[in-house]
Chain A
Amino acid sequence: MSARKNPLAALFKRELALAWGKGGGALYACAFYAGVATLLPLASGPAPEKLGAVAPGAAFVALALSSLLSLERLFERDFEDGGLDLLALGSAPLELVAAIKCLAQWLAAGAPLALLSPVIAVALGASPALIPLILVTSLAAGLGFAFVGGVGAALAIGARRGGVLVAVIVLPLFTPPVIFGAGAVDALNSGLDWTGGLMLLLAYCLCAVALAPFAMAAGVRNAIS
């Protein structure tokens, strides 16, 4: 316990600890990711040529689903215990609070999933040459998932069965990063130009980072008033 600390740095540290969680919310998401990826060859048959063709795309879809898991708690846990009131009362704007929560969510829950992503794609039969691009697209998509997902989480504050509501709100918004990310990897795999897909993915993520905090702050204000 030291003397005066920067409030926002303290918030970031606390959010990281909460997102990582005792016993690891992030680890559950990784286990879920591995589980979904394991079901695919069981369902479609293990023929390598068939599986290898869809591996990058399948890995991306599973990544999007796994990213949903811990989103529900992002604002809900603070809403339930009144912490959201105190965060709203702080001197930092709610937009910044929301952005910090999403960044911590990305680092604690999104990054481990992104690190797992190339492993899963290769295990499903993707070429090892794709590993760097899969890692980069997964990291970028994870950032977009965290911020866009945060909007869903803010809208679902206080709702019964909020987790399902978050998924229903957010999954349609997850389609662009899945299309661009998996598209870029697919393009590289077929020897085509892959930079376009990556640029579109990055553009999506930047827009999410820039705009989502305003929507989240509005959702939070609405929920606590």
Chain B
Amino acid sequence: MISRLEIENLALDRGGRRLFEGLSLQVSAGEAVALTGDNGAGKTSLLRAVAGLLRPSAGLIDFFGASGVLDPEEARSEGLHLVGHYDGLKGGRTAGEELSFWSAWTGGAPEAALEALDLIPLLGLEVRKLSAGQRRRLALARLVASPRALWLLDEPLAPLDARMRTRLGELMTAHVKGGGMILAAVHDPLPIPAREARVGA
């Protein structure tokens, strides 16, 4: 179980260009951090680096649990969720099939998420027929279906309507109150109290 994330002196390169360097950041249990920065500053890349999908050019990303430093691979596969622009949902399959698969893949059960994100009316629909907001809700369902300590969210609010933004805010509050952590790349402020960390500049 991850209870603290430490990023130390991190530098990331994409396509031969240095996105940022010297970035240090800590997220502790019960904390939400909003990553801000210009377009292309490296917010998404930072989230992908924390998830282990990008190799940092310099610096350290460490996960700590109750008993000290955790094995990064295990911490990532069992301790975090990444919800980004690309949601892994297949257009030709129904929302129910996709929700069922991704909850099984992350080791959870979809039932809890149905109610929380108001997904029941969508289950029989093909993913290609969903709106951007409905797709995002389906992707966010993973967060609820299989509880994990660290949420890495990339523009989670962008396509959601006002009611669902409030709903997601409630879910985030409950997550943080329960000792969870949120690291979210945003342009609009998060719907919950969050520390701001600037990327790039």
Contacts and interface: CB of A to CB of B under 8 A. Distances in A.
Nearest to B152: A89
Interface in B86-102: 86-93, 96-97, 99-102
A10 interface: yes
Given A4-B108, A5-B104, A6-B104, A85 B55 contact: no
B107 A91 contact: yes
B15 to A, nearest CB: 12
Contact of B92 (A5, A22, A89): A22
Contacts of A78: 88
A129 interface: no
Contacts of A48: none
A17 interface: yes
Chain A facing B: main interface SS: helix
B84 interface: yes
A17 B126 CA distance: 14
Contacts, number: 87
A10 B145 CA distance: 15
Contacts of A88: 53
Contacts of A85: 48, 51, 53, 82, 84, 86, 88
Contact of B53 (A21, A89, A91): A89
A79 to B, nearest CB: 9
Interface residues of B, number: 36
A1 B103 CA distance: 10
Chain B facing A: main interface SS: loop
A14 to B, nearest CB: 5
A49 interface: no
B109 A18 contact: no
A83 B82 contact: no
A151 B98 CA distance: 26
B88 A1 contact: no
A11 interface: yes
A52 to B, nearest CB: 42
**Central interface residue in A4, A86, A225, by most chain B CB within 10 Å:** A86
Nearest to B123: A1
B78 interface: yes
B85 interface: yes
Interface in A41-100: 77-78, 80-91
Contacts of B102: 86
Nearest to A5: B104
Contact of B96 (A1, A83, A90, A224): A1
Nearest to A80: B86
A7 interface: yes
Contacts of A91: 77-78, 107
A10 B86 contact: no
B111 A3 contact: yes
B201 to A, nearest CB: 25
Contacts of A6: 104
Nearest to A88: B53
Contact of B54 (A11, A86, A89, A225): A225
- In the A-B complex, the 7 residue pairs with the smallest Cβ-Cβ separation, listed nearest first, are A82-B86, A83-B88, A10-B104, A5-B104, A91-B77, A86-B88, A3-B109
23 contacts: A1-B100, A1-B111, A4-B107, A4-B108, A5-B104, A10-B101, A11-B101, A14-B97, A14-B101, A22-B92, A81-B88, A83-B86, A83-B90, A85-B48, A85-B82, A85-B86, A86-B102, A86-B105, A87-B105, A89-B51, A89-B77, A91-B78, A224-B53
Interface of B: 48, 51-55, 76-78, 80, 82, 84-93, 96-97, 99-102, 104-111, 123
